[in-house]
Chains A and B, each alone.
Chain A
């Protein structure tokens, strides 16, 4: 079971102290220019304990998450949760990137399978999947705790970072999802960030199950900066159910004539929905914080953080 581990990151310190945290998200794109990441991180800085840096989401070949994490940290002071998928790298490259990330001062790594290559902008690519995310968690634990790699070769000096996993409260069957998570917790995963959910009852059920496991859960939410975004989520993102009432309210807010009024109303709908969700969940369940999928809607984090 969980032993007392060293704390390397602000995220894990805050979570360990029982502070309710917000994490945000920035997305490197197909460019060698990091200005966009830096600007997004600056908008999130005061309201998040750390920000995820995505790793070629939807299998699109973008700037490396390790490089972007380092740039974000050094230029804005925002701590990175560096996302790393097993889709594009075999175990040699993953171990190499973990060493590189640790050397660059990256303190949190989020292990992911990664959207399949066939979705991407280079669908002809070979999907790697040499190891899976359970192996990835084990690999990081070996490097951090045992000073060796997956094959048992010695790693010189300390590797100081935390390993996180993803979870999906919307998954069916939920029992299977819980068992999969349990396996990774036993392997030494230290924190979890989840897929976005709008379903409070399902989130409660998920958190209740997670309560048995020794892992802080940062629950994913997806505030919508426009009715179109909500509509896209509802119709095009399988597995996420957006409540009709939320859709209705977004539609009404979207209908406002003047642009700044529209913006304000949309913010209100999001703040109302998600702050009551957070309050409701925190009443009964153990919840370490919220992961706000913020791409392009950074201002909502401040509003939510102030409200809860």
Chain B
């Protein structure tokens, strides 16, 4: 899931201030899952904005251009009458909505990471979209995202008793997790393997994919 967090309300108020008529778009997928852009949060935002809020919609997945067209078509009049669209979705959703509406877009959320949900409100970053997955070699633990330095050939000198120097020795050292996992699975040869430097050109921005 794409993990998002609502910006501080003062920051949102500041962004909204120049606009008299604001339409709010929420996200029915990740931001609903995170409790940052679902119906409940969108309604609360509309209430806060008071008469500025001229309408709202929770689009099933605003990052999908087709679904924006489908879900927002019926609201075209309201959207056209708005000075700005306040979007409660991730950056991908907000940009797709911006393209559709062609209005000033107010991003009410900050996009944090691709994460695992432990429970509502507790998330852990688990994927950096590095475009070169090596989880098989690393016991199902990703060093690119879970090692604070993204090292791919073993730990640095900053781990003490399995804890990482970053975050005051509270977080697990990814490489100790990897080592223990591979050891349990009797696959330590994968730890010994030299993994050459990552090809960062694969991540030259902006990426796109045309698979069919």
- Where the two chains meet, the residues of A that have a C-beta atom closer than 8 Å to any C-beta of B are 87, 91, 112-113, 115-116, 118-119, 127, 129-135, 138, 150, 166, 168, 171-173, 175-177, 179-180, 182-183, 186-187, 195, 238-239
Which of B151, B158, B169, B176 has a CB less than 8 Å from the CB of A132? B151
* Contact flag A130-B152 (CB < 8 Å), given A168-B157, A176-B176: no
Of the candidate stretches B16-24, B84-92, B128-136, B191-199, the one touching chain A is B191-199
Of the candidate stretches B3-11, B29-37, B99-107, B160-168, the one touching chain A is B160-168
- A183 to B154, Cβ gap below 8 A? yes
Which residues of chain B are within 8 angstroms of A187 by Cβ–Cβ distance?
194
- A130 to B156, Cβ gap below 8 A? no
Which of B158, B161, B162 has a CB less than 8 Å from the CB of A113? B158
Distance A133 CA – B156 CA, assembled complex (angstroms)? 9
Q: How far is the CB of B149 from chain A (nearest CB, A)?
A: 5
- A132 to B153, Cβ gap below 8 A? yes
Which of A116, A119, A135, A168 has a CB less than 8 Å from the CB of B153? A135
| 10 A-B pairs whose Cβ atoms sit less than 8 Å apart in the complex | A112-B157, A113-B157, A127-B148, A131-B197, A150-B197, A176-B154, A182-B192, A183-B194, A186-B194, A187-B194
Which residues of chain B are within 8 angstroms of A113 by Cβ–Cβ distance?
149, 151, 156-158
Distance A134 CA – B156 CA, assembled complex (angstroms)? 10
Which residues of chain B are within 8 angstroms of A177 by Cβ–Cβ distance?
155
Residue of B nearest to A186 (CB): B194
* Contact flag A129-B197 (CB < 8 Å), given A113-B158, A172-B161, A176-B155: no
Which residues of chain B are within 8 angstroms of A112 by Cβ–Cβ distance?
157
- Within 8 Å of chain A (Cβ to Cβ): is B56? no
- A179 to B158, Cβ gap below 8 A? no
- A183 to B157, Cβ gap below 8 A? no
Residue of B nearest to A127 (CB): B149
Which residues of chain A are within 8 angstroms of B169 by Cβ–Cβ distance?
238
- B160 to A130, Cβ gap below 8 A? no
Which residues of chain B are within 8 angstroms of A176 by Cβ–Cβ distance?
154-155, 175-176, 179, 191
Which residues of chain A are within 8 angstroms of B156 by Cβ–Cβ distance?
113, 133
- Within 8 Å of chain A (Cβ to Cβ): is B150? yes
- B158 to A115, Cβ gap below 8 A? yes
Distance A134 CA – B197 CA, assembled complex (angstroms)? 9
- A173 to B194, Cβ gap below 8 A? no
Which residues of chain A are within 8 angstroms of B176 by Cβ–Cβ distance?
173, 176
- Within 8 Å of chain A (Cβ to Cβ): is B188? yes
Count chain B CB atoms within 10 A of each CB in A132, A135, A183 and give the residue with the most.
Answer: A132
Residue of B nearest to A238 (CB): B160
Which residues of chain B are within 8 angstroms of A87 by Cβ–Cβ distance?
149
Distance A225 CA – B160 CA, assembled complex (angstroms)? 25
Distance A150 CA – B196 CA, assembled complex (angstroms)? 10
- Within 8 Å of chain A (Cβ to Cβ): is B119? no
- Within 8 Å of chain A (Cβ to Cβ): is B111? no
- B161 to A135, Cβ gap below 8 A? no
